[in-house]
């Protein structure tokens, strides 16, 4: 499970989490990893993730999965990856770049194409070119770590959820990913809500999302 990433507080912290409790209630073991680039551990740890999305930042999540398997906590044949915002990107990157590790994945409002995302979003916090990459001078770097460009590699079913009013991650990021998955014959489910912004704030939408994710995991992970 990967957490949203805004530079103001880009890490998982001790305390109540709806998602953790939701999954734990259904009997799933939940692992939250504070990978390099997370805040709260000093500048060296933060800068260790600069321009390494989909690379070493993703390797930290892969290592966490390997650790959970080695400890006997996770069944290597039944591992899912879930994330929202940056975590949604990481979920898609995990499915595209290390498909052998995951049985299925859930992406909530995640970036799927860094190049177009940075060109259509104001630079701020987590979209700072120094942190992510410059679309004018580092286009190849961004394209190489954008899951949208590697949909054919994805083997596991994917659940995607986006809000049409999202002013942080445009809904096009999800719609384009769904189109690529369909093009390559990949199993996926897309949930769109016209009255939602970044994430799902409305209770009725959040409940429906949980129900649909629950059914998705029951179908592909149990």
Q: What is the pLDDT of residues 183-199, one digit of tens each?
A: 999 999 999 999 999 98
Query: For residue 2, is pLDDT > 60?
Result: no
Q: What is the CATH number of the domain that holds 119?
A: 3.40.50.1820
Q: What is the pLDDT of residues 70-93, one digit of tens each?
A: 999 999 999 999 999 999 999 999
Q: Is residue 172 part of a domain?
A: yes
Which tokens in the block code for residue 172?
A: 């096009």
Q: Is residue 11 part of a domain?
A: no
Q: Is residue 215 part of a domain?
A: yes
Which residues does the annotation mark as catalytic? 85, 166, 198
Tally of domains in the chain: 1
Give the domain extent around 145.
18-220
Residue 8 has a pLDDT of 41
Residue 122 has a pLDDT of 65
How many Cβ atoms sit within 10 Å of the Cβ of residue 65? Answer: 19
Q: Is residue 33 part of a domain?
A: yes
Q: Is residue 106 part of a domain?
A: yes
Query: For residue 216, is pLDDT > 50?
Result: yes
Q: Is residue 6 part of a domain?
A: no
Query: For residue 1, is pLDDT > 90?
Result: no
- Give a three-class secondary structure readout of the chain: CECCCCCCCCCCCCCCCHHHHHHHHCCCCCCCCCCCCCCCCCHHHHHCCCCCCCCHHHHHHHHHHHHHHHCCCCCCCCCEEEEECHHHHHHHHHHHHCHHHCCEEEEECCCCCHHHHHHHCCCCHHHCCCCCCCCCCCHHHHHHCCHHHHHHHCCCCEEEEEECCCCCCCCHHHHHHHHHHHHCCCCEEEEEECCCCCCCCCHHHHHHHHHHHHHHHHHHCC
Query: For residue 127, is pLDDT > 70?
Result: no
Q: Is residue 1 part of a domain?
A: no
Question: 72, 124 in Cβ contact below 8 A?
Answer: no
């Amino acid at each position: 499970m990967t957490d949203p990433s805004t530079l103001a507080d880009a890490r998982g912290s001790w305390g109540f989490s709806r998602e953790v409790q939701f999954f734990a209630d259904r009997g799933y073991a939940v692992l939250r990893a504070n990978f390099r680039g997370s805040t709260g551990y000093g500048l060296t740890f933060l800068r260790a993730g600069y321009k390494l999305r989909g690379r070493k930042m993703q390797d930290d999540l892969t290592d966490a999965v390997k650790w959970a398997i080695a400890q006997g906590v996770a069944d290597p044949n039944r591992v899912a990856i879930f994330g929202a915002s940056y975590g949604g990107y990481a979920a898609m990157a995990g499915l595209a770049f290390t498909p052998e590790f995951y049985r299925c994945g859930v992406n909530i409002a995640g970036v799927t194409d860094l190049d177009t995302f940075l060109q259509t979003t104001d630079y701020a916090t987590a979209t700072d070119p120094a942190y992510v990459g410059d679309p004018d001078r580092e286009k190849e770097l961004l394209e190489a770590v954008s899951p949208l460009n590697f949909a054919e590699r994805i083997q596991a079913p994917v659940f995607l959820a986006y809000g049409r009013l999202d002013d942080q991650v445009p809904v096009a990021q999800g719609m384009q990913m769904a189109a690529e998955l369909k093009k390559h014959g990949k199993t996926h489910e897309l949930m769109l809500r016209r009255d939602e912004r970044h994430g799902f704030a409305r209770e009725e939408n959040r409940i429906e999302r949980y129900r649909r994710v629950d059914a998705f995991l029951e179908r592909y992970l149990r």
